[in-house]
Structure 1
């Protein structure tokens, strides 16, 4: 039996690798869940998110929480989804995300929560978190913008629109 003071010194490396793998797995699960939600596949989103390992909120726990809130909102559980959005957005300052990323995510939550209300108005708790801020859209992490788009994506629309036809020649 090894005592705690005689264990090999390399156990820190293994736990760091395990943590990194959990973070990557959780990020992939969130990406798949959000893609399924954008395709209106609630069951696919639930199953993708269920594969996400439990991670610390500051690592990517906020991301899984945000995806879980979106699943609740899309499935018609407005109260649950809204309360999860408020919980995630109020704790974003505990993360190492940039100020622009945090504000982008708060705006995303505000937009999504306002879409599901009858009066198209976001809850007061979310509006208070979003009031009086600015962010530079170009400084927001591209992965965040693809996983959590502010505008609804149209799956039939091509990624890049073809240029308009040239004007007719003047004779």
Structure 2
């Protein structure tokens, strides 16, 4: 009876053979590269969309600055997050209702995105923007719209799972 009740334990890294370790390492590397490629494609698509919609405001010395802009999105986002973090911390520490905290988090998230895009516009070599706040506002709205669409798709999937169960 105990044999049936015991579940098979997952193997540990130490219990794997050298061949299995190599295969696992290649598999995880491939998974990581695949995820990085999808993220890069999404960021590039966003950069190209904002550049296309703001083409009267953005002057680029070719296509290379747009790739540089996409590459700089992560470090500039981290830099913007550092500047906004004290405000996030203050909002979390204040005794606010859950709805107000959620609203403040949304506003701070939009502010972080806006600031990150301003940094990308400033630090990207070969990119000249006349009114930098307009493309930054457009990029912030695109990210917010993407978040709304993702949230709606997730809730729809959850409703389908609940209905099927």
Same fold (TM over 0.5): no
- Considering fraction of residues, name the structure with more helix: 2
Larger RCO, structure (CA 8 Å, separation 6 or more): 2
Q: Which has the larger radius of gyration?
A: 2
TM-score using structure 1 length:
0.31
